[in-house]
Structure 1
Amino acid sequence: MANTGAPIHGRARNPMNEKPQISEIFAHYYPQISFPERSGWLKILCPLHTESRPSASINLEKNRWTCFACAVSEDSWDVIQREEEVNYIGAVEWARSRFSRSSEAVSSAVSWQSSGSLFGREGIVGGSSTDAPRLRRFGQDWA
């Protein structure tokens, strides 16, 4: 059977909805987390809680990260949805407005966006910026 280019299951693939690279998303939201551009799962410090030893891993090929201490496993859409407090459609629109597929545009978008507050435009009231991921994940009363 010849490939007719017809959409699979009635849905055409939309290149504008392609998932941003997890490395781009981490550079934007968590510039303090560094990792080499290598294949496979790489150990990293979890951006959602304070720690001295890595409890998380990131895989650039699978476009996912996982923290084994706080049981979080996310792709780049999940990170955007959590950080921006939007649904999937909102995450796609957010990513489309900030990242294009050219590396120059991504680099400039990441450097400009990450120069502001890491955890939101207003920051955290009554806490330090290192408390922000914990507050977002677990709430104000979590100890």
Structure 2
Amino acid sequence: MKTSPQKPPIAEVLAHYYGLEVKASRGRQKVCCPLHADQNPSASVNLDSDRWNCFTCNLSEDSFDVVMREENIGFPEAQEFAHRQFGGDCPDVPRDVPGESGRGVHQRSWSRGSGSALRPGVRRFGDTWS
């Protein structure tokens, strides 16, 4: 039986896509969200659970979720991409992973009022909105 490839650390994925530097010595760190114009940190990275979330965007993702969104690919392709880009222990990435059909962006159901909505499309960290 094939096993799922190891998920890359969220700190590596955020550094790759957005240039965010997450300190490995800390379990949880506040950061500016790379998906919207942020003056003050509205996001946090949790190295213990290997997830990041933005309280303004109402978004919570693991490293596979980020790869799927940024590369515009499905879960099996994200596993292959992550294995090629970030390495891992599993040389053969399975095409069908049992129990992984519910993958995707996890959004909380509560709202903070009007808040800032995530703008259409995704910008790379450092780009400006036009």
After TM superposition, the score normalised by the length of structure 2 is: 0.65
User: Shift in Å at residue 38 of structure 1?
Assistant: 2.5
Structure 1 equivalent of residue 28 of structure 2: 41
Could you give the per-residue CA deviations for residues 54-79 of structure 1, whole angstroms, max 9, x where no partner exists?
00000112100000001010000000
Match of 1:94 among 73, 81, 99: 81
Structure whose CA Rg is larger: 1
* Pairing of 1:43-82 with structure 2 (within 5 A): 43-82=30-69
Query: 2:18 aligned with 1:30, yes or no?
Result: yes
Counterpart CA distance in 2 for 1:82 and 1:28 is: 14
Count of paired positions: 97
Instruction: Say if 1:35 and 1:42, in contact at 8 Å, map to a contact too.
Output: yes
| Mean CA deviation greater in 57-66 or 92-101 | 92-101
Which secondary structure state, in structure 2, belongs to the residue aligned with residue 136 of structure 1?
coil
Counterpart CA distance in 1 for 2:67 and 2:42 is: 21
Counterpart CA distance in 1 for 2:2 and 2:41 is: 37
Counterpart CA distance in 1 for 2:29 and 2:2 is: 30
Gaps of 5+ in 2: 90-117, 123-129
Identity of aligned residues (%): 41
User: Shift in Å at residue 13 of structure 1?
Assistant: 5.9
Counterpart CA distance in 1 for 2:35 and 2:58 is: 11
User: Shift in Å at residue 96 of structure 1?
Assistant: 1.4
Counterpart CA distance in 1 for 2:84 and 2:22 is: 26
Which secondary structure state, in structure 1, belongs to the residue aligned with residue 8 of structure 2?
coil
Alpha-carbon spacing, 1:13–1:63, altered in 2? closer, same or farther (3 Å): farther
Structure 2 equivalent of residue 14 of structure 1: 3
Gaps of 5+ in 1: 1-11, 103-132, 138-142
